[in-house]
Structure 1
Amino acid sequence: MGNSDTKLNFRKAVIQLTTKTQPVEAQDEAFWDQFWTDSVTSVQDVFALVPAAEIRALREESPSNLATLCYKAVEKLVMAAESSCATAKEQQTVLNCVRLLTRILPYIFEDADWRGFFWSTLPGQAGENDSLNDEDGGSMPLAQSLLNALSDLLFCPDFTVAPNKKAGPETHEDLQSIDSCEYIWESGVGFAHSPAQYPHHDQNRSEILKLLLTCFSETMYQPPGDPLPNQWLTYFASSENRHALPLFTSLLNIVCAYDPIGYGMPYNHLLFSDYREPTVEVALQLLIVVLDHDNGQSAISVDGTTTGTAMDQGAEITREVLAPQEGSQGEPQNLFVNYLSRIHREEDFHFILKGITNLLNNPLIQTYLPNSCKKINFHQEILVLFWKLCEFNKKFLFYVLKSSDVLDVIAPILYHLNDSRQDQSRVGLMHIGVFILLLLSGERNFGVRLNKPYTVRVPMDIPVFTGTHADFLIIVFHKIITTGHQRLQPLFDCLLTIIVNVSPYLKSLSMVASTKLLHLLEAFSTPWFLFSNPSNHHLVFFLLEVFNNIIQYQFDGNANLVYTIIRKRNVFHQLANLPTDRASIEKAVSRKRKGSEASQRSVPNSPTVADPPSMEGSFPAKEAQPGTLKATLAEMPGKGWWWELS
């Protein structure tokens, strides 16, 4: 009953605010306290009780009231951070303010006239509250006050972290004086101590991180090509944020240390609530958003060649080595990228790589009991983080390549590529997966590792084979090229380039993989396909280079490929005798197009040869969901035409 009364009171306060025609004074504390003093149970309640239409109406009809509401909410957060958020009432006020701002901010960003609101001083508010002023006595923009307060609250003892001292009103630690490096959320990179974990701390962290992610989403509401930088991210990742280092290590460690399986008890995720997973997911999203932010600097060292200890265990993280460097133009640097590029201890690399591989392989776990293991759904974010690690820290890339664990990254990437090939809404996942494989394939160790036998039997709709990881890679790439949607055609060059890069090191291809390679050559070398696009011949060049490399460097162990080449020698004969006169070319292209249009109307994108049986328990790739974007690239010959070979 009390909960219903609380929601009713909150709803009444929202109605009063949206229906008032006159501005409400900021000093009217009794009115404004209605929005955060009552205990609204969850962020879902706030979203339900504050409709989008009413927020837009408030923005258009009573802008001063909306501005005052945001100002008062930020003021409450700043005051809570200054008082160390010691009481339960203050903590509930903080949560309500965070939820309210999370709801309101997107509607401020969507209006171009309001985007600069948080980076300006409200008329009549300057100087009224010392907590919102900077050290020089000037008025600090609301955005800076908000980011400073949220960063402080993420390391608030008894609220988001466990206290290091005995709890109590007299011993409560001051947020302004504590060393937040002693309160890193999880052991791992730069921190050896394992802090106590409490579910309510994870829930509070998650709420604050979601508000930060909402603040950083301002770029989504700007028109394409807008050169304006994201000031939220620039300030958050700069040296102005005194918590940048502990925030970076906390976000990275909590992601890499997360184990969704736990002790392995079947169906444990149905019996017990996992409060850590939502926090890990939003922490991962926030981390990759900050790492992706470009301040415009060009002098950040990302080669991982710095000397000295990058991160020591415990709270003694060496700020001298990790201190920000001045950019060539004096612009603020992204400290998160700076810190990431300076990790170089092997034990840190092992911790990061193990955490990433555990999470990537989670969807591939097979058990006798159906659905007995918890499955995560943020594998795409994990791949983006792995890409950023390889991009900004070359020492980590070399560590991955020399480690046998690199195959634990390859298998889930190929699994997700195969599973997403027909879903246009997951084209971004396809791109990031292919780019990671392209980056790794440039190193010799990657090609050598692919010779390890493939023993993981994950149900996939690919032909059954017995071979190596190289066979697995080639078979999946063939499936993507022959049965993927048209928006993947720009990736064909990348897919074949990966095979070219690793081909000199492939000791023994299976008959299935050899047949797939010759099948691609047979399809790409037809006259009508070669002449239908000026760049199509590149695909044939790549395949010929693959055959040349394998025959030159690994002839002895590749009898299957040599036999398949001999059996399909007519393909090479036809390629050597391509017509070169204009009339023959136009005749071949027009005849094939007319025949293909008729066949596509009956059975689109279907090869004339039957595919081998797929793995037991596999499911077809998911097709695009209704409402996904259609291909906007220039049309190429339909894939169904490639199988009608003359």
Structure 2
Amino acid sequence: MGASDSKLAFKEDIFRLAGEEAIAIDSSWWLRFIQLPETAEDVQTLWSPNDLRDLTLNTPSERPSSHTQTAPKKNAETLIYRTVSRLHALQTKRVFDDPLTPIAPEVLNCVRILTRLLPYIYEADYLSDWEDQFFWQPRRPVSYPDPKSDSRRIYVDGLSGAAVPEEKKNSNLGPPLGEQLIDILTKYLFFPGICLPAKKDANGVPELKPIYTVWQSGIGAQRGAAMTKDNEKNAVEVLRLLLVLAGRSLYFAPGVVAEKDIKPLTYLATQADRAVVLNTICSLLNTALKYNQNPWSFPIDLGAATKDSKQPLVTCCLQFLLVLITYPVPGNGANEFRKALGRLHRAEDFQFIVEGLRQILMQPTTGMLRLTTTAPPIIPETLALFWELLQCNKRFRSYLIDTERARDFIVLVLFYAIDGKDDPAKQSVVRTCVFILQTLSVEEKFGPKLNALFTAQDTLPSVLQIPNFHGSYADFLIGHIHALLTSSNRGLESLHPALLAVINNIAPYVQGLQRATSTMLMHVFVSFSQPAFLLANESNHLLLFSLLDAMNAILEHQYDENRRFVDAVVKGRKRFEALRDFTVEGAEAEIDRMTRERKDIGESAAGRATSHESARDATSPRTTSLDMVPEDSAFAIGDEDDEDDEGDGESNLPSHDTSTRASMSNDALEDALPLQSRSMSEKARGKQPVGLANFSRSTSRNTSHTSLASLIRLQTRQSLQPFTPDYQWLHTWSPHLPLHTILQLLEEEEDGGRARPSKTPAAGNAVSSTLPAAPSQHAGMRSSGTAPALEVKVQTFRWTSAALGWYLSLLWGRVYAADTARIWAGTNVRLFNVVAQQSRISLSSPKGAVDAVGDTIARRIGGLSLRSPLTSREV
């Protein structure tokens, strides 16, 4: 179709589809749509959105409402029947006079037509009943006007074109058309001359029979199928149509998508032949994991798809694999693809998976020649695949931890989390990384592995290095969790429960926490225990509960091995005692005072609102803002005569934000220092133990340290529906704060533990002698050991409908963003708001484009809460 005349003629054929009422199904004219186009671009450009929507409307007037069910034009039905019929015929019989004629051009044109048309059928709510009947009910005869009589109708089999007697017009002719189409397409994935190299029989004629074999060597195959570049391009188009069939999910709202029956996926996940399931999952997995776009460690331009012919195939394989294994079958049915992934058990298969994942994830962090720092565009999908493997395959989790490769992946996952924490377009990647850490931390053997010394920091990218760091993997992990908790990006606030869950899960096993790490944990406690923070949000106290549980776990299970942490707890005695005295009666007085101040400040702000900017910053009278709660109030944590080394009521936590460095005052700089370093000269700080001295010096160089409480101020000030605390709400949780273990420790320290010498620590682990008695003197506290005798509380990941809605939105957002063919562009996608995010989405350059959409959806569903701990979806 290179000539303009042929394209004009083809366009006239498209107009005829919408102009004539019902063209006979046996007309040879239909073959023009299958035989004339030469490229996918021909079909994409010549079939405009208006042409396709004309086909979906049976009435030429206005579009029906979603409540008015109708059917598309008869020609749309016939076009679908003819393309599916041709796909089946090309697969089962010789349709050309010359048997050596390749079938690939017509197969691809049929695939392209359906790929172009189906999204416009899915977007039309008024076609939902017709869609279910046409594709997913047993196939019945199709009626057409009889050309010989105006009053009669003729009935034919839509696939074969054979006439059907009128008395059998209501009979079933075969399985649903949608099921037959899926069977045809899955066979084409393994069909010689299409996705596999052509194979000829003894007479030199191409064979017409699928060969179920794995595309690439790896899991399930020692040798690959030797696919050519044409085979890879064909596989991309077939996989793309399968994604379009499964893309019915794009046209549901995120709140209900997890509960909808996506019939193409249900059929694939439950009814596909075993040979199809095993060969498909191995082919997709091996193709993705063997991908190395940078074999010589030269990360030139990792984002340009045109420079790497394999990238489109790898992207489609990863996306279709994730769509298959994450689909929740209605009625708790078994997903055969997920089961197959969960049944992998050979060590060599796990080694192949680990090396493949590591090769992809490490590409932006290594290289002999660094010409770009752009990460591979398939990183989000690769991280999602890693998370799915951890969830559905217990043996893989055990292998990863037993071989100590989990520590390598901790570093890789933290790289993507820290690298993206301040980028709104990467929030979904950060979320995936945090949930990976939470899933790993649930394993009992994971925590003890973190006690190994971390010595490779000098080889890490600068974004991941902690200045003057020394300690274990546990210190490294908690240090970066602290950075995520104190990030200035408000989009990460919904991740705080999951981040604290990671600390909670590893707390019973960590040993030898460094002083800087202990200080970080105390800083978080100080911010979470502020009355202003606790009263600012209905669920903020859950964060404090989680953190206290983690601190208790350290003291109860590894008391003797974490003397620096014990020292930090003892020095924060007054803060714990003030939290204990956080009474309901006093809180009522505090709430009344806050209400009066909100009213006064609200009236004052209204009087000053002379511009749009001041109006936007004014605080609502109902908003609970932490700015309105002075730290010297009756319920500030700590007394005015606190010791200097315990700091003020609000501890500022270190962060990576440097945007306001020049505007910080001397007081703010003093607040930014660790609690133990306040009121000390620079010389005195230099005499502290190495870890704390270095921490103090590095902190003093960066004066823009955002406290967690200040982030909550911003969150509360901008809240659309502010929370108003009351007595009943406070009484439900304040008497149940898990302070017993810590208060017992402090009581024994005050009653005589101060005079008892502490156990001699290992070299380089010097602690103060003003510590409580030996661990044996404290009931409920254990010293060392990697298998705590006390019960260990684990916060696991449980899939809820809202969480799954976010996750499916993320996956399909990546599919949408990677769509260089613009398949779904212009259709009414409901899974995420494309129009509102248009400034962030570039369809011509879709790298990471829809990550921000996933962030919007996560905020829309309210994030994930500690109220419903998550558990893995395991096979």
Q: Into which bin does the TM-score normalised by the smaller protein fall?
A: 0.7 to 0.9
SS in 1 for 2:462: coil
Q: Which residue of 1 aligns with 2:389?
A: 389
Cα distance change on mapping 1:508 and 1:344 into 2, 3 Å: same
Cα distance change on mapping 1:348 and 1:26 into 2, 3 Å: same
Q: Which residue of 1 aligns with 2:131?
A: 115
Mapping for residues 68-467 of structure 1, pairs under 5 Å: 68-83=78-93, 89-112=102-125, 113=127, 114-116=130-132, 117-120=134-137, 121=139, 123-124=142-143, 126-127=156-157, 129-130=159-160, 138-163=173-198, 170-175=204-209, 178-180=210-212, 183-222=213-252, 225=256, 229-241=261-273, 243-265=276-298, 267=300, 273-296=307-330, 298=332, 333-365=334-366, 367-371=368-372, 375-422=375-422, 426-452=426-452, 453=454, 454-455=456-457, 456-460=459-463, 463-467=466-470
Retained in 2: the 8 A contact 1:487–1:633?
Answer: no
Cα deviation 1:94-147 (Å, max 9, x = unaligned): 1111112111101111223242232254623753644999xx992333212211
Q: Which residue of 2 aligns with 1:596?
A: 627
Cα deviation 1:455-506 (Å, max 9, x = unaligned): 2422328753523332332233223222255454343222112102112322
Cα distance change on mapping 1:79 and 1:375 into 2, 3 Å: farther
Mapping for residues 472-483 of structure 1, pairs under 5 Å: 472-483=476-487
Retained in 1: the 8 A contact 2:236–2:316?
Answer: yes
Retained in 1: the 8 A contact 2:365–2:460?
Answer: no
Instruction: Look up the equivalent residue of 2:327 and give its one-letter code.
Output: H
Per-residue deviation at 1:367?
Answer: 4.7
Q: Which moved more, 1:84-93 or 1:450-459?
A: 84-93
Cα distance change on mapping 1:129 and 1:277 into 2, 3 Å: same
Q: Which moved more, 1:455-464 or 1:510-519?
A: 455-464
In 2, the alpha carbon distance for the partners of 1:286 and 1:260 equals 20
In 2, the alpha carbon distance for the partners of 1:105 and 1:594 equals 50
Cα deviation 1:403-457 (Å, max 9, x = unaligned): 2211232223223333444555655444433332222112232112223415242
Instruction: Look up the equivalent residue of 2:157 and give its one-letter code.
Output: G
Mapping for residues 480-519 of structure 1, pairs under 5 Å: 480-483=484-487, 485-486=489-490, 488-519=492-523
SS in 2 for 1:193: coil
In 2, the alpha carbon distance for the partners of 1:131 and 1:189 equals 43
Cα distance change on mapping 1:587 and 1:545 into 2, 3 Å: same
Provide structure 1 residue ranges, at least 5 long, that are not aligned to the other structure: 299-330, 637-646
Q: Which moved more, 1:503-512 or 1:103-112?
A: 503-512
In 2, the alpha carbon distance for the partners of 1:337 and 1:504 equals 32
Retained in 2: the 8 A contact 1:361–1:408?
Answer: no
Per-residue deviation at 1:279?
Answer: 1.0
Paired residues, what number?
583
Cα distance change on mapping 1:358 and 1:271 into 2, 3 Å: closer
Cα distance change on mapping 1:188 and 1:594 into 2, 3 Å: closer
Retained in 1: the 8 A contact 2:299–2:369?
Answer: no
Residue among 50, 53, 57 paired with 1:56: 53
In 2, the alpha carbon distance for the partners of 1:358 and 1:69 equals 45
Cα deviation 1:145-179 (Å, max 9, x = unaligned): 2112111111111321135x56887242231xx54
In 1, the alpha carbon distance for the partners of 2:863 and 2:34 equals 55
Retained in 1: the 8 A contact 2:232–2:310?
Answer: yes
Q: Which moved more, 1:545-554 or 1:586-595?
A: 586-595
Retained in 2: the 8 A contact 1:78–1:131?
Answer: no
Retained in 2: the 8 A contact 1:464–1:615?
Answer: no
Per-residue deviation at 1:206?
Answer: 0.6
Q: Which residue of 2 aligns with 1:28?
A: 27
Cα distance change on mapping 1:550 and 1:635 into 2, 3 Å: closer
In 1, the alpha carbon distance for the partners of 2:279 and 2:440 equals 30
Per-residue deviation at 1:91?
Answer: 0.7
Retained in 2: the 8 A contact 1:6–1:39?
Answer: no
In 2, the alpha carbon distance for the partners of 1:248 and 1:84 equals 30
Per-residue deviation at 1:297?
Answer: 5.5
Cα distance change on mapping 1:548 and 1:7 into 2, 3 Å: same
Using CA pairs under 8 Å that are at least 6 residues apart, name the structure with larger relative contact order, 1 or 2.
Answer: 2
Mapping for residues 578-589 of structure 1, pairs under 5 Å: 578-582=582-586, 583-586=588-591, 589=594
Retained in 2: the 8 A contact 1:528–1:585?
Answer: no
Instruction: Look up the equivalent residue of 1:204 and give its one-letter code.
Output: N
Provide structure 2 residue ranges, at least 5 long, that are not aligned to the other structure: 61-71, 144-154, 164-170, 599-623, 631-656, 674-697, 707-836, 841-851, 865-875
Retained in 2: the 8 A contact 1:32–1:72?
Answer: yes
Retained in 2: the 8 A contact 1:206–1:279?
Answer: yes
Per-residue deviation at 1:212?
Answer: 0.2
In 1, the alpha carbon distance for the partners of 2:310 and 2:594 equals 58
Of structures 1 and 2, the larger Rg is shown by: 2
Cα distance change on mapping 1:22 and 1:422 into 2, 3 Å: same
Per-residue deviation at 1:363?
Answer: 3.3
Per-residue deviation at 1:553?
Answer: 4.5
2:524 maps to 1:531: no
Question: What's the % identity of the aligned pairs?
Answer: 28
Instruction: Look up the equivalent residue of 2:25 and give its one-letter code.
Output: A
In 2, the alpha carbon distance for the partners of 1:528 and 1:132 equals 77
Cα distance change on mapping 1:334 and 1:369 into 2, 3 Å: closer
In 1, the alpha carbon distance for the partners of 2:341 and 2:351 equals 15
Retained in 2: the 8 A contact 1:79–1:131?
Answer: no
Cα distance change on mapping 1:139 and 1:436 into 2, 3 Å: same
Give the TM-score taking structure 1 as reference length. Answer: 0.79
Cα deviation 1:183-219 (Å, max 9, x = unaligned): 2101112111133232111111011001001001113
Retained in 2: the 8 A contact 1:37–1:92?
Answer: yes
In 2, the alpha carbon distance for the partners of 1:131 and 1:513 equals 74
